[in-house]
């Protein structure tokens, strides 16, 4: 097994982990070996930030610190470490047999104190999806948030074109425009069915529980749900795409519970769909509290005016399928 090394500015210690050690506790057995005074240690660290240390071996007269291995932690058997104890652990904690091939979001090997670990694991839940007696299921704020906070980052359940391109469909020459559109929707529904059956069972259930406002206009069930809940993924389009064909939309689980609408933005004389205005309702009152309009000036995001309820945000669209980020507006 490959050994893990702990490296500091002046010392290198090699840990010899046991087969089940993914979280290592660093206990200072000899407290007298700690460098003092702390001011000198900080000064040394600052100096090393700009200069190359000629010798990183153990200094003469320095006894070194002792370390010990701790048993591997699992989600069912987590250790609460003292605030001032330094530990080595994985965050988020992968399973026994996880590799980057099976745990694709990956994890970080961390060396920090028990106090910092508690901050990471104790991150407060910001959102709650619950039923509103007036408007059905919705997303509510479960805690206070400040300007610029990341409210939600979610991977989509489904990414698909806006509609099948009729130019790729073999239809009779005497077909009208309505018949061509009907054929395009028919083919689109068939391909959506294949895509739906490949989704995990949990995502299939979540997808089918989303609202469908297009049950009487010729849209099938999957297409109707997409039309009701979709966000356009800006920048994701086919080569030589001619709108409305060749552009893509995505459907999320939790983001679909947001009250959202598309807003137009004029940039250099051209109107574009630049962002979505979303509303996050306050959990405590379950009420719709409309406030004054506000504006966030940002060249990168181009947020326009938006009505404020308990909390207002904008969905930043990405050029891929990794997810959307919901950023809060100023609350002034």
pLDDT in tens, 103-154: 766 777 777 777 877 777 666 666 667 776 666 777 776 666 666 666 667 7
Residue labelled with tokens 């990405």: 318
pLDDT in tens, 21-42: 344 444 443 444 444 444 454 5
Q: Which residues contact 273 (CB under 8 A, 6 or more apart)?
A: 232, 234, 262, 263, 264, 265
Cα-flanking dihedrals φ and ψ of residue 323, to 5°?
A: 140, 175
Cα-flanking dihedrals φ and ψ of residue 80, to 5°?
A: -95, 110
- Residue 237 structure tokens: 């389009």
Report the pLDDT value the prediction gives residue 58, as an integer from 0 to 100: 72
State which residues of the chain have pLDDT below 70: 1-56, 67-79, 94-97, 104-105, 121-128, 132-135, 141-152, 235, 241, 243-244, 259-332
Report the pLDDT value the prediction gives residue 74, as an integer from 0 to 100: 53
Nearest-angstrom CA–CA distance, 271 and 254? 29
Report the pLDDT value the prediction gives residue 47, as an integer from 0 to 100: 53
Cα three-residue angle 301-307-308, rounded to 5 degrees? 95
CA distances from 169 to 173, 176, 224, 236, 290 (A): 11, 14, 21, 22, 47
SS (H, E, C) 105-126: CCCEEEEEEHHHHHHHHCCCCC
Nearest-angstrom CA–CA distance, 227 and 214? 7
Q: Say if CB 253 and CB 125 are below 8 A apart.
A: no
Nearest-angstrom CA–CA distance, 134 and 287? 9
pTM exceeds cut of 0.75: no
Report the pLDDT value the prediction gives residue 317, as an integer from 0 to 100: 37
Cβ burial, residue 192 (10 Å; 0-12/13-18/19+)? buried
If we measure between CA atoms, which residue out of 319, 182, 185 comes closest to residue 247? 319
Q: How many residues does this entry show for the chain?
A: 332
Q: Say if CB 257 and CB 128 are below 8 A apart.
A: no
- Residue 132 structure tokens: 């509103």
């Amino acid at each position: 097994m490959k050994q893990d090394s702990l490296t500091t500015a002046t010392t290198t210690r090699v840990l010899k982990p046991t087969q089940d050690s993914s979280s290592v506790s660093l206990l200072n057995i000899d407290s007298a070996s700690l460098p003092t005074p702390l001011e000198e240690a900080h000064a040394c660290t600052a100096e090393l930030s700009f200069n190359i240390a000629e010798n990183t071996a153990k200094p003469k007269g320095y006894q070194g610190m002792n370390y010990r291995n701790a048993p591997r932690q699992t989600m069912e058997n987590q250790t609460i470490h003292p605030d001032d104890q330094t530990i080595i652990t994985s965050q988020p904690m992968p399973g026994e047999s996880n590799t980057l091939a099976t745990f694709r979001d990956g994890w970080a090997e961390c060396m920090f104190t028990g106090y910092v670990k508690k901050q990471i694991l104790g991150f407060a839940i910001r959102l709650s999806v619950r039923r509103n007696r007036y408007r059905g299921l919705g997303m509510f704020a479960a805690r206070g948030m400040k300007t610029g906070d990341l409210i939600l980052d979610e991977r989509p359940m489904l990414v698909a074109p806006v509609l099948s391109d009729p130019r790729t469909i073999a239809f009779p020459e005497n077909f009208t425009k309505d018949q061509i559109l009907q054929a395009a929707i028919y083919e689109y529904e068939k391909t959506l069915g294949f895509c739906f059956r490949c989704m995990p069972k949990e995502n299939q259930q979540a997808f089918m529980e989303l609202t469908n406002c297009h049950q009487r206009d010729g849209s099938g069930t999957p297409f109707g749900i997409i039309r009701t809940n979709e966000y356009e993924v800006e920048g994701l389009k086919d080569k030589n795409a001619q709108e409305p064909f060749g552009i893509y939309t995505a459907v999320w689980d939790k983001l679909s519970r947001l009250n959202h609408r598309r807003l137009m933005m004029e940039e250099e004389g051209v109107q574009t769909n630049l962002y979505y205005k979303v509303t996050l309702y306050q959990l405590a009152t379950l009420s719709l509290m409309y406030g004054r309009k506000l504006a966030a000036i940002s060249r990168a995001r181009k947020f326009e005016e938006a009505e404020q309820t308990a909390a207002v945000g904008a969905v930043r669209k990405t050029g891929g399928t990794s997810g959307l980020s919901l950023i809060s507006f100023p609350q002034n």
